[in-house]
Structure 1
């Protein structure tokens, strides 16, 4: 299946139910567990432990922390039922390997079906990368107050 960038609509992969603006987590693994649970309760994955193992395997391969407090961990996994994105913001910054050495407080967790890994996954990462290359967007992510505002910001840049 070929995915056209214009047709790739964030609303198909992230909903308000997959956004948590006040994560309780204080460590990287806690963040990943909290966001994984969101994916699980919303029917996007069928095994939390298995998916976490896949995400942590990917984490061991390279840095997923970008700059300015944002990380994009991701798992390509057989446990994913529906390619999705969970977004979280922590109350305090979390230690995370990042390109600029800064701790993280906004996490965009990709859950990608193995069957989508060469198409949808790459397109989603490209769109998020474009989004995160914009300073204003990053600043807005830090200050947005509602889940709806997050979704609007994602789709504005769609």
Structure 2
């Protein structure tokens, strides 16, 4: 399988190291705002609705304070990832029933739904299976470090 080039789907503009949100909905909204500003999403409301709909289908909190909400949506111009780190806990349905402070929001263009999306999810899932990665990403002090970690470097 092709190695995925994370720099094509996430940039420093799509990362916040200080999420202000204190609920799942406001976190999704705050990260969507970054995607809209970046031009990856063309309709904030439609995209958020698609993400919330997907949330209702299954738990996206993986445990260890990490959540990976995703929206497959016609409102997405280019498949992208927005990353939010929070200094406080955000209540989220998760496998370990604990709140989260790292949110990786996938914005997936309809056409990419079966290929790029799966490769991205797989790539991120492999990273998130590594406790060391989770420990490191929660300690980052710069957006560059986030991209470096997500690239698996």
TM-score band, normalised by shorter chain: over 0.9
Equivalence map 1:74-85=2 (5 Å):
74-85=70-81
Equivalence map 1:1-158=2 (5 Å):
4-6=1-3, 8-157=4-153
Cα deviation for residue 91 of structure 1 reads 2.1
Cα deviation for residue 86 of structure 1 reads 0.1
Alpha-carbon contact 2:9-2:81 (below 8 Å) kept: yes
Cα deviation for residue 27 of structure 1 reads 0.4
* Alpha-carbon distance between aligned partners in 2 of 1:101 and 1:89, rounded to the nearest angstrom: 19
Structure 1 stretches of 4+ moved >6 Å: none
* Alpha-carbon distance between aligned partners in 2 of 1:91 and 1:32, rounded to the nearest angstrom: 16
What TM-score, normalized by structure 2, do the two folds share? Answer: 0.98
Where does the alignment leave 5 or more consecutive residues of structure 2 unmatched?
A: none
Cα deviation for residue 146 of structure 1 reads 0.5
Cα deviation for residue 61 of structure 1 reads 0.2
* Alpha-carbon distance between aligned partners in 1 of 2:83 and 2:105, rounded to the nearest angstrom: 6
- 1:86-111 superposed Cα distances (whole Å, 9 cap, x missing partner): 00011210000001111001000000
Where does the alignment leave 5 or more consecutive residues of structure 1 unmatched?
A: none
Q: Give the superposed CA RMSD.
A: 0.8
- 1:11-61 superposed Cα distances (whole Å, 9 cap, x missing partner): 000000000000110000000000000000000010000000000000000
SS at match of 1:90: strand
What TM-score, normalized by structure 1, do the two folds share? Answer: 0.95
Cα deviation for residue 141 of structure 1 reads 1.2
